Amino acid sequence: MKSNKLLNIAIAIISVIGIILFVRVAVEDKEALESSVDLQNGLVSPLVYYSTYLLYASVIIALVLSMISLVRNPDNLKKTLMGLAVLGVIFLISYFTADSAAVLDTQGVVLEGGEEGSTTNQMVGTGIWYSVFLGAIASVFFVWDLVKGLVKS
């Protein structure tokens, strides 16, 4: 019960600080804010930095708590590692499916950085194929779940 109270207090403090930083920006004159770099640095930058640090803290806390949970429950750790292995296999298939052909513009001229054999071309193609494969797998499971639900009814 005490940790719940402490969590609520921490959330309230974080919220009040965010509200104060936001209100400081919101009440300022729009034209003055757009034209003055010093005003932007004084009002907008703290809000941006605060938001960035909150994002970093959220990600770190989520990762640490996930790792603690995985270590405490070996069955979930095994399932997670199996899932990561499957994703790795799909990534390898995507990598070998993708090509590194030259990237051309509408006139047929090779774009800068888009030369044939470029690592960037290969990785972009890998990302596209990875998304396609994961989307296809998700679609199959969606249809399977739909059919299973219809049969149960």
Q: Over the stretch 108-149, which tens digit does the pLDDT of each residue have?
A: 787 777 777 777 888 988 999 999 999 999 999 999 999 999
Rounded to 10°, the helix 37-72/2-26 angle is 160
Residues 40 and 104 in one domain: no
For residues 15 and 83, state if they share a domain.
no
Q: Is 29's pLDDT higher than 90?
A: no
For residues 39 and 80, membership in a common domain is answered with: no
**Residue 45 and residue 80 in one domain:** no
Do residue 50 and residue 80 come from a single domain? no
Residues 39 and 85 in one domain: no
Last-in-domain residue among 21, 48, 72: 72
Which of 16, 11, 41, 14 minimizes the C-alpha distance to 28? 41
One domain, residues 117 and 141: yes
Mean pLDDT of 36-43: 83
Half-sphere exposure of 87 (CA within 13 A, CB side): 9
**58 and 83 both lie in a single domain:** no
Q: Which domain holds residue 30?
A: 2-72
The residue out of 51, 72, 93 marking a domain boundary is 72
pLDDT at 85 over 80: yes
State the pLDDT at residue 1.
Answer: 63
The answer, yes or no, to whether residue 12 has pLDDT greater than 80, is: yes
Domain count across the chain: 2
Calpha distance 12→5 (Å, rounded): 11
The per-residue pLDDT for 25 is 87
Domain boundary among 53, 72, 91: 72
Same domain flag for 59 and 101: no
Model confidence at 50: pLDDT above 90: yes
**Whole-number mean pLDDT of the chain?**
89
